[in-house]
Amino acid sequence: MRLFILFLSFISVFSVNAQRNCTSALHTAMPVISSQSNSMSPEKIITIPVVVHVVYNNTAENISEAQIISQITSLNADFAKSNNDFSKVPSVFAKLAANTSIRFELAKTDPMGKSTTGIIRKKSTRMMWTDDDKIKYLANGGSTTWDARSYLNIWVCNTVPGLTGYASFPGADRAVDGIVIRYDAFGSVGKVVAPFNLGRTLTHEVGHWMGLKHLWGDQQCGDDGIEDTPKQRSGNSGTPVFPKTTACNSTSDGEMFMNFMDFTNDASMGMFTAGQKTAMRTQFEINGKRSTILNSKALAPAWNNNMEPEILTVNTRDIVVYPNPVQSGNIKLLVNTNLGSNGKNYAIISSNGQIVKTGHLLEMEEDINVQSLAPGIYQIRLTDIASNSSTKFVKQ
């Protein structure tokens, strides 16, 4: 009983004296930020398909659709410099602010080509999550990453006290690429709790997902590599008063604590700079780490809604094949379980029980060439784990 009381006391202290804590810099090696753009117009709208994985242990954590939509709305406003509170940004910094011309939309089509709301709900026996990426695997009670080349994956859950969110940087392993946000710091309505109740936790983490560093570069008196963000001593918290000067930045303008890449409360944030805009958009250039997002079909109409139900039946704990049906070339095999360090074997079996192809998987998503298979219905099975790890696909 004493341990339980102490735990409740700790939670209460955390709730009253909440401070933003983002572990993204520790979680993934920091990328080199380039401010050079190749060919994309700086005003061309980049639209990013989003899938929200709500992983909950109780009803409070199973946040409403309204809360999710409020977060997408806030995110779009922040990235468009149309946030209602932009006027609070001091004029010396407001002149550096930019509309990034990046917007976000819940996915309309899932990786199998089926219609989706862009929201996945997964009940889990796990009560809290930390920054170890386990939430991104069904085997751990989490929800499997959708193809990170085509979707921004966001997991909403109950994190350990002190952790509001973390993100992977461009170039991360596709199996874990995405953002994790605490459920009561996600959006602006519903279960949100001040001071992180305006959706800025996700705005901050999306900045990381697009390659931005913290303003201080996670070093004392460090730098983020962006020319128009002032040097900063370290992360600011709470509600600083302008101007805030330190030995690291002794100019009259002080530190840009209202930038989305600082640690201040949501109500104290309000801007990205033009330099940050360029750095983020560079990730979507031809050779950028996020360029595949521009070819995503996640916002296009679904393409396999007319398939027979028995062919579409998939055990979501195991494996998924798409496109389904396939006419020629490759199918993609998405494995919803941990492959381990040695990978897993698979077999493709025809309708008469004959094994027509075998192979070995090392990644959670791999292409398999089925060009030589005759038209028909096939089963694909992982041969060295549970017998229910299989699904069907149609070769036309």
**Catalytic positions:** 205
Cα separation of 387 and 349, whole Å? 14
- Strand 330-335 relative to strand 319-322: parallel, antiparallel, unpaired? antiparallel
Q: Minimal CA–CA distance to 105: which of 52, 141, 142?
A: 52
- How would you classify residue 314: left for phi > 0, otherwise alpha for psi between -120 and 50, otherwise beta? beta
Q: Minimal CA–CA distance to 203: which of 171, 238, 149, 164?
A: 164
- Kindly write down the DSSP assignment for every residue of 286-343, as one continuous string: TTSTTGGGGG--TTSPPS-TTS-HHHH---TTSEEEESSSB-SSEEEEEE-S--TTT-
Cα separation of 66 and 143, whole Å? 21
Q: In sequence order, what are the residues at sequence separation of 6 or more whose Cβ sits closer than 8 angstroms to the Cβ of residue 327?
A: 395, 396
Q: Minimal CA–CA distance to 124: which of 80, 97, 158, 96?
A: 158
Phi, psi of 154 (to 5 degrees): -125, 125
Question: What's the token pair of residue 91?
Answer: 């004029």
Q: How many CA atoms lie within 13 A of 81 on its CB side?
A: 18
Which amino acid, 129? W
